[in-house]
Chain A
Amino acid sequence: MKDMKAYFSKQNKALLSELVRTDFKLRYQGSVLGYAWSLLKPLLMFAILYVVFVKFLRFGADIPHYPIYLLLGIVLWNFFAEMTGQSLGSIVGRGDLIRKIKIPRWIIVVSASISALINLALNLIVVGVFLFLNGVDITWNAAFLPLNLLQIYALGLGISFFLSAAFVKYRDVSNIWDVVLQAGFYATPIIYPITMITNETFQKILLLNPMTQAIQDARHNIVTQDTITTWSTFNDWKAFLPVIFILVVCVAGGVYFKRRSKTFAEDL
Chain B
Amino acid sequence: MNEDIAVKVEHVSKSFKLPHEKSGSIKGILLGWRKKRRGYENQHVLRDISFEIKKGEFFGIVGRNGSGKSTLLKLISQIYSPDSGSITVNGKLTPFIELGVGFNPELSGRDNVYLNGALLGFGREEMNDMYDEIVEFAELERFMDQKLKNYSSGMQVRLAFSIAIRANTDILVLDEVLAVGDEAFQQKCYDYFAKVKKEGKTIILVTHDMGSVQRFCKRALLLEGGKIVKIGSSPSISTMYSNLFLEERNQALKNENRKRLDQSPINTESDARLTNVRLLQDRKEREVIKAKENFTIELRFNLQSTIDKAVVGINLVDGNGNIMLATSTREHSPTVKLFRGENRISFSIDNIYTDSTYSINAAVTDESRAGMLLYQAQDIHRFEIKGIKYAKHSLTHPRVQVELGHES
Contact = CB atoms under 8 A, between A and B. Distances in A.
A120 B81 CA distance: 37
Interface in A1-51: 10-11, 13-15, 17-19, 21-22, 25-26, 29
B24 A171 contact: yes
B104 A11 contact: no
Nearest to B79: A265
A266 B118 contact: no
A167 to B, nearest CB: 10
B350 interface: no
A26 B78 CA distance: 29
Contacts of B78: 102
Contacts of A101: 77, 79, 95, 97, 101-102, 119
A11 B121 CA distance: 5
Nearest to A10: B123
A100 interface: yes
Query: How would you classify the secondary structure of chain A's contact residues: helix, strand, loop or mixed?
Result: helix
A101 B115 CA distance: 13
Contacts of A262: 81
A102 B81 CA distance: 11
B124 A22 contact: no
Counting chain A CB atoms within 10 Å of each CB, the highest count among B77, B93, B121 belongs to B121
Contacts of A169: 24
Contact of B122 (A14, A26, A102, A266): A14
B26 interface: yes
Interface string B297-339: 0000000000000000000000000000000000000000000
A18 B118 contact: yes
Interface residues of B toward A: which range?
Answer: 20 to 34
Nearest to B45: A266
Contacts of A11: 121-123
Contacts of A97: 101-102, 119
Query: How would you classify the secondary structure of chain B's contact residues: helix, strand, loop or mixed?
Result: loop
A22 B114 CA distance: 10
Interface in A219-263: 262-263
Nearest to B98: A100
A56 B238 CA distance: 82
A26 B107 contact: yes
Interface in B14-55: 16, 24-27, 29
A172 B30 CA distance: 13
A99 interface: yes
Interface string B117-137: 111011110000000000000
B22 to A, nearest CB: 10
Nearest to B175: A100
Contact of A96 (B77, B80, B101, B115): B101
Interface in A63-112: 96-103
Contacts of B107: 22, 25-26
B170 interface: no
A96 B101 CA distance: 7
B123 A14 contact: yes
A25 B123 CA distance: 18
A26 B104 contact: yes
Contact of B102 (A25, A29, A96, A265): A96
A252 to B, nearest CB: 19
A99 to B, nearest CB: 7
Contact of A99 (B24, B79, B117): B79
Counting chain B CB atoms within 10 Å of each CB, the highest count among A14, A19, A266 belongs to A14
Interface in B346-392: none
Interface in A185-236: none
Interface in B57-81: 74, 77-81
A140 interface: no
A15 B24 contact: no
A22 B74 contact: no
A170 B26 CA distance: 7
A100 B97 contact: yes
Nearest to A9: B121
A172 B25 contact: yes
A266 B16 contact: yes
B293 interface: no
Interface string A157-175: 0000000000001111000
A22 B104 contact: yes
Contacts of A98: 79
A18 B26 contact: no
B10 interface: no
A259 to B, nearest CB: 11
Nearest to B102: A97
Contact of A29 (B77, B79, B93, B106): B106
A96 B115 CA distance: 14
B291 to A, nearest CB: 43
Interface in B272-308: none
Contacts of B122: 11, 14
23 contacts: A11-B121, A14-B118, A14-B121, A14-B122, A15-B119, A15-B121, A17-B118, A18-B114, A19-B115, A19-B118, A22-B111, A26-B104, A26-B106, A26-B107, A97-B101, A101-B95, A102-B79, A103-B119, A169-B24, A171-B24, A171-B25, A265-B74, A265-B79
Given A29-B106, A100-B95, A100-B97, 12 more contacts: A13-B123, A18-B119, A26-B107, A98-B79, A101-B79, A101-B102, A101-B119, A102-B78, A103-B119, A170-B24, A170-B29, A265-B79
Return the 3 tightest CB-CB contacts between A and B, nearest first.
A18-B118, A14-B123, A11-B121
